[in-house]
Structure formats: structure tokens, C-alpha cells
Structure 1
């Protein structure tokens, strides 16, 4: 059994160690990273900070994020051996969860400090942060004020102009006119034009996963299709993730 301050090494368990393989889930902007870290602090999430090569770790938590988004303040903890090991390590790998979503990030240059009169740990804000849904993607319902749309080119040269109902890092649900017989399950549409607010149009590939007819409140019939984003490049994935995170942040602000 592992002793306090040690456990199995996380080499094969932390996706943050392979950022290129999980590029669509990686945040790189300081403002977005700081927002997630502040959520961890507000929820008092327990963070496991791995260091060294023997599976040693420090159990900590986020206390505060500097207003300039440059420094992160962590709970000191009581395990002096683990604290000493973490301070001596050149790099730490941190892992936690927030609403069943994996959160992972590296830390460097950890040091002791005093925060609001209490001993704590200070480190520069991480350059990257992984935000990975455990089982399925978080789906964001399209805000009523945003006009999220998608143009799907057909083989005959025509286009389906669809409205987006919800969107995630893995796909989207759209509503199309009832004449969209080309929306067949399994069909892949290349060069689709995805339009998000405050962003240039994205060119993506969509594979239809499910289709069914539905009636609107006005009594008209439309097609609702669930589509998977396939062959998604890191740049497009980051823009979609940035939009979802920005919208989440704005909704939480208005709810507060």
C-alpha cells in the first residue's frame, strides 16, 4: 500500500504529459486558465501535485489567483516531507476534477509565501491547462442572443443553412429545413462553415450521427441532426473551446 505522500507514478495516467495528443482540450490563454483555477478555488477542489520519479505527491488546493493572472496561491498542507519534496522538484504535475471534468496542469518554481497572514505556496500561473470531460463532452446550449449557424455544402453545389442548437468540443446539434434529405446517418460533409460570435468562420468536417424530424412551436416541420466534428485541427478545437468557456463565464457572472 502507498505510504502518505507517495502513490503509483502517474506516467501513464496524466493526459497533460501528452499535450499534442489532447490538443483540443488544452487551454493556453492566461485569462482562461485563471478562470478555471478560480473555479477550483471556489469549489475547494483537492489538487494532487505529483513530483519526482517515485510517485510522490503533495495534496493541496487553490487559494487564490493574482488579479494580473501571473501567480497562483496554493494551500501549504501539513505534510512537511511532501512540502520539502515539492519545493525541491523542478516541475509538478497537478490533477483534480471539477464537475466530473478532468483538470490537469503543470507547475514550476514553487516557493513558500505568506498569503493574508497565513503560510502558503506560490507559483507562476501554468502555461497550459487540460480540461477533459471524463465520459462525454460538455454540451453548451446556444445562447439566444448568439446566432450560431453552420453552412453544409452538398454534392450538387447547394448548401444547407442550419441553426446550431448546442455545441461541444466533439460535435453539435443543428436544425435544418425539412428538405435536407442529404442529412443521412454516417454521411461526412467536408468544408462546412461554422460561424461563432467574435471569431472568423471555421472550416470543419461533420459526420451525421442521428437525424429525426420535429415540429416547431409554430407547427412547421424541421430536421434535427446530431453531428460529430471529425478530423478537427487543434486551432479550430481551441476556438470552439474558447467560445464555450467564454459563454460559461458570462453565464456564471449573470447568475451571481
Structure 2
């Protein structure tokens, strides 16, 4: 089990938002089970976070439908386990293809056994509901002087900012080109605070997690970054910006009437 280089907690659905609390809620036991089994079969990384800022990574080692229990792979000597086990709230977040899945965990127990891969497993009752956030609003941004930018703390120069061009943008995260010659962050690591500038008048702060890394033929590395923390106002700004860009795109593609 690994952890971010900085504590990040995931964005939570707003109960007052009908989309977050209704349209994206999965409560059917059969559908919940199918998604959890997919996470286990594909060994998808799962982030376990607490309100205090603890953020660790694991994956599902067991989905027991008969007893309604989950097992999370852990190392028994991980120094973060006591704090995780004592937390009143633990949120799990995973990314399955183009879908962000989020669910709450209760009653975490640490079980030790020599038969287990790492000698221990975190056991939790199966959640009664999951929240699903599909990245339907993703689009490709064409390079221009108004291209959205991502500003991060420079990894090698203290007090300096690294400015990166955003190539893809969605409600789930961003893709940026990491410059050649600068060591890229590892998958699973995170940026506790970054600034996303959509245009001259629209910007917001968020936490990011490195989801995937892909070398580019022209040099540099393409980073896929998920929003690990984003507040409701920032989500509204992002949604509005995406809607405007899509609307403009439709207008530009529309053929003029003779």
C-alpha cells in the first residue's frame, strides 16, 4: 500500500445537489456488486481518505457477496494503519475506465493471516451505495494563446511555479504535457494544491492525483491527472466553462444556411 507524497482528500458529492445525490447514486445491490467486482478483477488502485487529510492507496483483494464484506490489500506494518482504523469516516475513490466511483467505508477491521499476500487485510462491510461520476464532458482543447493552463509548485525550484498547457479537460480531471528533461511524478502521487486557469477571468484551486503517465514521441510525458479535491464552486465553474466550449464548438461546426 502506497501513499501520496502530499495528503489529499477526494471531492465528495454534495447532498444538496440533485445530480450528485440522485442521478449519480447507485443503490441497487446487484449493480454495486458488479462495479466492486470489476475493481477487484482489474486490481484498480483505490484511494482511502479521511477528513483529517490521511490519504493512502490500496486495492480490493476480496469481494464477498455472500457475507457482504470487502477486503482491502494492506501491509500490516504500514505506519498509517492505526490512524486509518481510528478515523470516524473513510472514503474510497477509484477510477474505472472513464468513471469515477466513490463510496463510504464503515467498521474497518485489520485481520492478520499468513495465508494473505501481505499478511493482512482491511475488512469492511460492503457499501449500500456508490456514487458514479462519468466524464461525459471531456473534450480536446486546441493549442492557442487562450489554452487553459495548470500551475503547479515547481518540483526543483523552491518558490517557483511550473506552468503547463492543458490538453484535455473534463469534470474528472486534466491531461497535461510534462516537459522533457524534468523528472515526471509517479502514478499515484499527488499535488495537494494546484491552480487551474480556464481563461483570463476563470480560475480555481484543486488537489490533483497522477492517474497515468505516457511518454510522447515528440518528447516529454503526457500526464493524466484526476481531481482528488475540488470544491462545489470550482465544479460549477468547470461545468459552465465546458458547456460554453461545447456550445461554441457546435456553432463553429454548424453549416451556414444558403
Which TM-score band (shorter chain)? 0.3 to 0.5
Q: Rg: which structure is higher?
A: 1
